Amino acid sequence: MLSDEMRQKLIESALEARHWAYAPYSGYTVGAALLTASGRIYDGVNVENAAYPNTICAEQVAVFKAVSEGEREFIAIAVVTSDGGAPCGSCRQVLSEFGLETLVLIADENGNLLAETTVRELLPNAFRADWIKKSPFTPEGDFPEGTSTGSV
């Protein structure tokens, strides 16, 4: 389990990172701090874009930073916003890829822990790799007859 000390450290890391959030359009700055099984902490902030759909969430930045460093097992992620907003659906899906038991700590800008949950609780019946294995498509890309592959 996560110690109270580590809980606090993650929230503080997320608070610290939040200062670097790039949110000129929404003004809604988010900081995240992800603890991996190796004991390292990867932080992240939301990065908005004038072309809105290109915006990326703080949680995803933290996850992608960790994964790009070879990390695959996550213990907990702290998310800090002004009002204790919860991770969006897209972030829940990204987190689910690496484990449903990852703890999710939701805190406000004063560092108050408002909720502690898991990815499993946040995203019931998550879409997982198991579903892909149930697909009728083979890994070699051998599509069943009558299925459009997009080619002509």
Query: Least CB distance from residue 62 to Zn ion, whole Å?
Result: 11
Q: Does 57 bind Zn ion (CB under 5 A)?
A: yes
Known catalytic residue: 59?
yes
Catalytic residue among 59, 73, 116, 121: 59
Query: Least CB distance from residue 126 to Zn ion, whole Å?
Result: 15
Q: Does 63 bind Zn ion (CB under 5 A)?
A: no
Candidate residues 91, 105, 106, 123; the one interacting with Zn ion per rule CB under 5 A: 91
Q: At what angle do helices 58-68 and 4-18 cross, to 10 degrees?
A: 110
Nearer of residues 17 and 91 to Zn ion, judged by Cβ: 91
Query: Least CB distance from residue 147 to Zn ion, whole Å?
Result: 33
C-alpha–C-alpha distance, residues 111 and 81, integer Å? 9
The 3-state secondary structure of 40-65 reads CEEEEECECCCCHHHCECHHHHHHHH
Q: Does 106 bind Zn ion (CB under 5 A)?
A: no
Asked if 21 contacts 46 with a C-beta cutoff of 8 angstroms, the reply is: yes
Backbone φ/ψ region at 84: left (φ over 0), alpha (ψ -120 to 50), beta: left
DSSP per position, 79-113: EE-SS-PPPPHHHHHHHHTT-TT-EEEEE-TT--E
Stretch that binds Zn ion, among 1-9, 15-23, 91-99, 140-148 (CB under 5 A): 91-99
Q: Does 30 bind Zn ion (CB under 5 A)?
A: no
Candidate residues 16, 22, 26, 88; the one interacting with Zn ion per rule CB under 5 A: 88
Residues taking part in catalysis = 59
Contacts with Zn ion by CB under 5 A lie at 57, 88, 91
